[in-house]
Chain A
Amino acid sequence: MTMQQEVEVKIMFDFFTEQFMQYALYLGLALAVAAAFLSPYLVLSHQAMIADGIAHISFTGISIGLLLSSQALYFAIPFAIIASIAITILTEKANMQNDASISVVSAFALAIGLIIVTVGDGFNRSIESLLVGSILTVSTSEVQLAIILMVITIVFVLAFYRPLLAMTYDPEYAKFSGVKTSLLKYSLAALTAVFVVIGVKTVGILLISAYTIFPALISNQLVKSFKLTLVGGVVIAIFTIFIGITLSYHLNLPTGSTIVVVYTILLIGAYLLRRILRRN
Chain B
Amino acid sequence: MQDYSNKTSTTSNKPLAIELSDVSVSFGKFCALKNVSFSINKGDFLYIVGPNGSGKTTLIKLMVGVIEPTLGKVHINSDNLGYLPQKFNYSHQFPVTVREVIYSGCKKQRIIATKKSKALIKTWLKKMEIEHLSENSMANLSGGEQQRVFLIRALINKPNLLIMDEPTSALDPKFRRHFNEIINRLSKEGVTIIYVTHDLHDRVDDNAKIMYVDQTVRFFGNFNDYAARSRGEDNV
B-contacting residues of A (Cβ < 8 Å)?
44, 46, 158, 161-162, 165-166, 168-173, 175-177, 219-220, 223-229
Contact A158 to B93, CB < 8 A, known contacts A172-B85, A173-B83, A224-B137: no
Q: Which residues of B contact A175 (CB under 8 A)?
A: 65-66
B91-117 near A? 1/0 per residue, CB < 8 Å: 101111100110111000111000000
**Distance (Å) between the CB of A175 and the closest chain B CB?**
5
A166 touching B104, Cβ below 8 Å: yes
B90 interface contact, C-beta 8 A:
yes
B109's nearest neighbour on chain A, judged by CB, is A162
B104: contacting residue among A44, A177, A225, CB under 8 A: A177
Q: Which residues of A contact B93 (CB under 8 A)?
A: 220
Number of residue pairs across A and B with beta carbons under 8 Å? Answer: 68
B95 touching A224, Cβ below 8 Å: yes
A176 touching B83, Cβ below 8 Å: yes
B70 interface contact, C-beta 8 A:
no
Q: Which residues of A contact B153 (CB under 8 A)?
A: 173
Q: Which residues of A contact B136 (CB under 8 A)?
A: 224
A225 touching B95, Cβ below 8 Å: yes
Contact A224 to B89, CB < 8 A, known contacts A169-B104, A172-B66: no
B100 touching A226, Cβ below 8 Å: yes
What CA separation (Å) do A168 and B61 show in the bound complex?
19
Q: Which residues of A contact B96 (CB under 8 A)?
A: 165, 169, 225-226
Q: Which residues of B contact A220 (CB under 8 A)?
A: 93, 95
B84's nearest neighbour on chain A, judged by CB, is A173
Contact A158 to B137, CB < 8 A, known contacts A173-B85, A220-B95, A225-B97: no
The 3 lowest CB-CB distance pairs between A and B, nearest first, are: A224-B137, A162-B109, A225-B97
B30 interface contact, C-beta 8 A:
no
**Distance (Å) between the CB of B158 and the closest chain A CB?**
15
B134-178 near A? 1/0 per residue, CB < 8 Å: 011100000000000000010000000000000000000000000
Q: Which residues of B contact A223 (CB under 8 A)?
A: 95
Q: Which residues of A contact B88 (CB under 8 A)?
A: 170, 173
**Distance (Å) between the CB of A44 and the closest chain B CB?**
6
B17 interface contact, C-beta 8 A:
no
A176 touching B94, Cβ below 8 Å: no
Q: Which residues of A contact B89 (CB under 8 A)?
A: 170-173
A229 touching B95, Cβ below 8 Å: yes
Contact A176 to B64, CB < 8 A, known contacts A225-B96, A225-B97: yes
